[in-house]
């Protein structure tokens, strides 16, 4: 609704089908339901790690994370910002939730404090990769391939990594960040094959 795009993943967006009010309420409902599910599980089964995981999700989703990043992103439209500010926007808007997911999994899986920290850092790296590639695709892909209107960042006068770098340079940045993420996984005890595959697929994604 904020981008006012007609499509996402090849389907009409919620606000185009049901209206802006229902779309906002649907978002509020789904976000709240996540905490309902996690807290119900914590109350049913106990365990401090379940409560901590819920705290991590609330932190990443709220004003210190995704919502705060989205606000800063919207406030930066039609303005010239520096690269540090852009990094901060996407660390919160995109990276916070991805890093929370990897950290929550580590916490609930009983990982060591060291591995929890490594997996959180891994999440931040692939979060930035996701955003860099997203910026590239918005400028170079097609509606059919991407499943949403292309060029919306330019149309909405948004700052992206292409505001600072060429497409080729952005891919190089994404590749370096991916290698850093994979290197972190090599320091973790246990099988991290799936996480490595996720990191490698992100840079290749076309939608």
**157's torsion region: left (phi>0), alpha (psi -120 to 50) or beta?**
left
The CATH superfamily label for domain 7-202 reads Farnesyl Diphosphate Synthase (1.10.600.10)
Backbone Cα Rg of the chain: 18
Residues 6+ apart with CB under 8 A from 194: none
Give the start-to-end residue ranges of the domains of the chain.
7-202
pLDDT 10s digits, 37-52: 999 999 999 889 999 9
Residues 6+ apart with CB under 8 A from 17: none
pLDDT 10s digits, 92-132: 999 999 999 999 999 999 999 999 999 999 999 999 999 99
Predicted structure pTM score: 0.88
pLDDT 10s digits, 132-142: 999 999 988 87
Phi, psi (deg, nearest 5) at residue 193: -55, -45
- End-to-end, the C-alpha distance of the chain in Å comes to 19
């Amino acid at each position: 609704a904020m981008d006012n795009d007609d499509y996402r993943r090849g389907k009409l967006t919620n606000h185009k089908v049901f209206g802006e009010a229902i779309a906002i309420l649907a978002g509020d409902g789904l976000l709240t339901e996540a905490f309902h599910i996690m807290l119900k599980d914590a109350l049913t089964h106990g365990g401090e790690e379940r409560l901590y995981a819920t705290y991590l999700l609330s932190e990443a989703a709220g004003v210190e994370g995704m919502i705060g990043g989205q606000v800063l992103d919207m406030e930066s439209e039609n303005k010239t910002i520096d690269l540090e500010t852009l990094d901060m926007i996407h660390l919160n808007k995109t990276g916070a939730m991805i890093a929370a997911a990897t950290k929550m999994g580590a916490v609930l899986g009983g990982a060591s404090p060291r591995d929890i920290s490594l997996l959180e850092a891994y999440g931040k790296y692939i979060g930035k990769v996701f955003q860099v590639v997203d910026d590239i695709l918005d400028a170079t892909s097609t509606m059919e391939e991407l499943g949403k209107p292309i060029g919306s960042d330019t149309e909405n006068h948004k700052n992206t990594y292409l505001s600072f770098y060429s497409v080729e340079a952005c891919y190089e940045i994404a590749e370096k960040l991916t290698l850093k993420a994979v290197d972190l996984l090599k320091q973790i005890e246990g099988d991290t094959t799936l996480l490595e595959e996720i990191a490698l697929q992100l840079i290749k994604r076309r939608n």
